[in-house]
Structure 1
Amino acid sequence: MLNALLDRSCRVLNLTIALALAIMVVLVFGNVVLRYVFNSGIAVSEEMSRWLFVWITFLGGIAAIHENAHLGTDMLVSRLSANGKKVCYVAGHLIMLYVTWLCLKGSWQQTLLNADMSAPVTGLSMAMFYASGVVFAVCAGVLLLLRLLRALAGKTEEQELVMSTESEESIASVGVKKA
């Protein structure tokens, strides 16, 4: 039931990313056309597309963690015993949780520091910009913690303990197989 909820949430997240990307493309393309054809532009489009890019990056990070889409090599870990793989898996998750904590702490501080600051063009609070890191850190932390607890409870298969993907093509083929 939890996996189904996480999968649905990730689908909504991917749709949000796609929508934000579409808006960003329209803003940037529209601004380019306005600049070249009419020698004018929309100032808001530059700021909003920059904000959308940051949010897309952090939301994409959440989706990548959920889909276990880490790029890397398994040259060492794949040769270890099941217990060795589990130790590496747990150690890797503890390190990722620590880095996620650092991201949360820094993003939260920046959000608070910039809550009273306004963006130059839109006038929106700069806290919304830095909140992307907070959202990422909270969501990523929950996903990583759930995986870590599952591994410690012994509910993780041996092939799941090797977390890396060797190429982007294998990520694409997994996405095709899931669909």
Structure 2
Amino acid sequence: MIGQLDRISGQILRAIPITCLALLFAFLFVNVVARTFQLAGFSWFDEIVRGLFAWMVFVGAAALWREKDHFQVDWLPAALPPLANRGLRIVTSVLAICFLGVMTKYGFDLTLKAKALTPILKLPTSLFYVVIPISGGVMLIYSIADLIRLLSGFKSSKETYK
């Protein structure tokens, strides 16, 4: 059950940034063509790009976090003996959990405080900010699961520092 939920969440976490990137490309292409041939100007273009970019970046970061495919400098853990390596990974996981907890909490607060509307489309700016606590929460869940695996001695399916 949990494995199936994890696979579904992984598919969703990959689909959202891919869709955002495709839409960004399409909007940019249409905007360039329209401006080149002086067909039209899209005053709402910046608002859509800002929102799509925010969702692409934050959900993409959560997808990379889930897969452990984000950039990592692993020379120190690789140079340590196994016990020190595990200790370092535990400390790193705890620090990540603290950071993600703060990011999620303040992202949630920012979303709740955002009452403004975008100038042209009149979209609530909270639509752009809500991705911060969502992605932070997803990364937090995966970080806690990794810490539990580390503390219990289980190896993750993609252990980075062997």
TM-score by length of 2: 0.91
1:112 is aligned to 112
Q: How far did 1:19 drift?
A: 1.3
2:15 is aligned to 15
2:159 is aligned to 160
2:35 is aligned to 35
Residue pair 1:58, 1:133 contacting (<8 A) in 2 also: yes
1:2 is aligned to 2
After superposition, the C-alpha distances for 1:106-164 in whole angstroms (9 at most, x for unaligned) are: 211211111x211111111111111110111111100100111111111126x82618x
2:65 is aligned to 65
- List, as ranges, runs of 4+ consecutive aligned residues in structure 1 with deviation greater than 4 Å: none
> How far apart are the structure 2 equivalents of 1:111 and 1:15?
23
Residue pair 1:66, 1:143 contacting (<8 A) in 2 also: yes
Unaligned stretches of 5+ residues in structure 1 = 164-179
Amino acid in structure 2 at the alignment position of 1:38:
Q
Residue pair 1:20, 1:52 contacting (<8 A) in 2 also: yes
Residue pair 1:86, 1:151 contacting (<8 A) in 2 also: yes
Structure 2 counterparts to residues 143-154 of structure 1, below 5 A: 143-154=142-153
Structure 2 counterparts to residues 40-59 of structure 1, below 5 A: 40-59=40-59
1:77 is aligned to 77
> How far apart are the structure 1 equivalents of 2:87 and 2:3?
24
> How far apart are the structure 2 equivalents of 1:70 and 1:91?
18
1:132 is aligned to 131
Residue pair 1:97, 1:144 contacting (<8 A) in 2 also: yes
Say how many residue pairs are matched: 161
- The Cα RMSD (Å) is 1.8
Q: How far did 1:8 drift?
A: 2.6
Residue pair 1:44, 1:121 contacting (<8 A) in 2 also: yes
Q: How far did 1:85 drift?
A: 1.2
Larger CA deviation: 148-157 vs 48-57: 148-157
Larger CA deviation: 142-151 vs 101-110: 101-110
Q: How far did 1:45 drift?
A: 2.4
% same residue: 23
Distance 1:91 1:161, change over 3 A: farther
Q: How far did 1:4 drift?
A: 3.7
Distance 1:3 1:81, change over 3 A: farther
Amino acid in structure 2 at the alignment position of 1:125:
P
